Structure 1
C-alpha cells in the first residue's frame, strides 16, 4: 500500500476513488447504493468537494477489496498538502526574488495587495511572465485558483 501511496500522496482521495471505480467498471450511483450511501455524497467526494471520513472510507475499502485505512491515509496526505499551501499563501507575498519588478512596471511591487488583486496579478503573469514567474504565482495562490483564472482568460481571448 505505501509504495502506491507514495506516488499518489497529495491527491484528493476522491480522485483516486473515481479511478478505482472506473477500473472496476462501476457506476458511482449504483456503487453508492450498494454501500448504503447517498449518491450525492460519493459524487461530492469524487469531485474533491468533500473530505473522506473514516466510516465511509471503511465501507468503500471493504467493498473494493482495498487495504483498511487506504483512503484515510490519502486524506491525511491531502490535508497536509492543503495546509502547507495555506501557510505559504498566508505569508502575504509571493517570493519576490522570483518576480521581475518590470513585470509590474505600472506599480510599486512592494505595495501590491496580493490578495485583493489576485485576479489582476495572475492575469499579468500569465500574459507576460516567464515560466519561473508563472510557477511562483501558481505556488503562491495555489494551482486551483491559478488554473481557474487561466481558463477564464483563455475563454475571453477565444
Structure 2
C-alpha cells in the first residue's frame, strides 16, 4: 500500500473508492459498466452497506492504476476496527448512555464490570433514567437483572423498578 493510502487505515474502502472517483471526476455508473460490474454493487460499497471483495478490489485497482491489494488491506483494517469496537462494547456498558455522575464516588474507568455487577445494577436502577437502565439491561442481560432486582419475571425489555430497595 502506498503512503497516500496509509492514512486511510480503518476507514471503509468504499469511502476511499468514492474519494478516488470524485478526485478523478468519474461517475459511478459508467465506471462500474467499464469494469463489467453492476452499478448497484459499487453503490452498495460506496454507501458502506457491504465490504469490498478481492476480485472486485483487483478490478477497481487495475482500472484506477492503484497498487494491487490496497483496497483489500483497507478492508482488513476496517474489519479489525469494527471487531475491536464490538469487543470493547463487551468490556463495559456504553459510556455515551451511562451518565458518569451515577458513579460520582468511584472512578468509572476502574470499575470491574463483571465482579461488581450487583453494585452497578443497583446503582443504575436506583438512580438512573430509563435509557441508562436499558443499557445496563443490554449489557448484563435478563438473568443478571432478575438476580439483582428480585423480579421473577421480566418480559421483553420492560424494566424492573426495584421497589424492595430504598432510595438513599
Q: Please say if 1:112 is aligned against 2:112.
A: no
**1:101 Cα shift?**
1.2
In terms of fraction of residues, the more helix-rich structure is 1
Kindly provide the CA deviation profile for residues 13-40 of structure 1, in whole angstroms up to 9, marking residues without a partner as x. 0000000001111100110000000000
SS of structure 2 residue aligned to 1:62 = helix
The answer to whether 1:21 aligns with 2:42 is no
Q: Residue by residue, what CA displacement relative to the aligned partner does 1:50-98 show, whole Å, maximum 9, x if unpaired?
A: 1000000000000000000010000000000000001111235146998
The structure with the larger Rg is: 2
Q: Match of 2:79?
A: 79
- Partners of 1:55 and 1:105 lie apart in 2 by 50
- When normalised by structure 1's length, the TM-score is 0.64
Could you give the per-residue CA deviations for residues 89-124 of structure 1, whole angstroms, max 9, x where no partner exists?
123514699822179998435x83317679xxxxxx
Q: Distance in 2 between matches of 1:53 and 1:117?
A: 33
Distance 2:38 2:19 in 1: 19
**Quick check: 1:40 aligned with 2:40?**
yes
1:99 aligned partner: 100
Show the counterpart of 2:153: none
Match of 2:57? 57
Where does residue 143 of structure 1 map in the other structure? none
Q: How many corresponding residue pairs?
A: 117
CA–CA distance in 1 between the matches of 2:25 and 2:136? 43
Q: What runs of 5+ residues in structure 2 fail to find an aligned partner?
A: 105-122, 140-168
Task: Confirm or deny: 8 A CA contact 1:92 1:114 kept in the other structure.
Answer: no
